[in-house]
């Protein structure tokens, strides 16, 4: 399993990219703190879809592992960063 250098919370924000704001108006607004586990649940299905669509070596398997999710790809199809060091 990977590790995370996070506090366990994420802040949901809205950024207005390309928006011309009025004087005194902020370019982004904070909405609410979100538990990191909720983020995993929100994005897990999309990350698994990406892993399924990716050709080996599947980097998404490594990403899923870093988020504490079990990759579905066969171990032989997964990207292994240790092989890059050889």
Average pLDDT over residues 26-54: 81
Q: What is the pLDDT of residues 16-28, one digit of tens each?
A: 666 666 777 666 6
Q: Positive or negative CA dihedral for 61, 76, 53, 58? A: positive
Concatenated DSSP letters of 6-41: S-SEEEEEEE-TT--PPTT--SEEEEEEEEHHHHHH
Which 8-state DSSP code applies to residue 59? H
Higher per-residue confidence, 40 vs 48: 48
| CA separation for the pair 13, 4 (Å, rounded) | 21
User: Residue 57: which of 32, 80, 25 has the closest Cα?
Assistant: 80
Task: Enter the pTM of the model.
Answer: 0.58
Q: What is the pLDDT of residues 55-85, one digit of tens each?
A: 999 999 999 988 888 999 999 999 988 877 6
């Amino acid at each position: 399993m990977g590790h995370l250098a996070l506090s366990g919370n994420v802040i949901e924000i809205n950024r207005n990219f390309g928006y011309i704001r009025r004087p005194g108006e902020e370019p982004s607004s904070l909405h609410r703190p979100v538990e990191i586990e909720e983020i995993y649940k929100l994005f897990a299905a999309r990350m698994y879809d990406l892993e399924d669509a990716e050709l080996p070596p599947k980097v998404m398997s490594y990403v899923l592992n870093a988020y504490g999710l079990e990759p579905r790809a066969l171990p032989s199809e997964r990207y292994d960063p240790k092989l890059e060091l050889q």
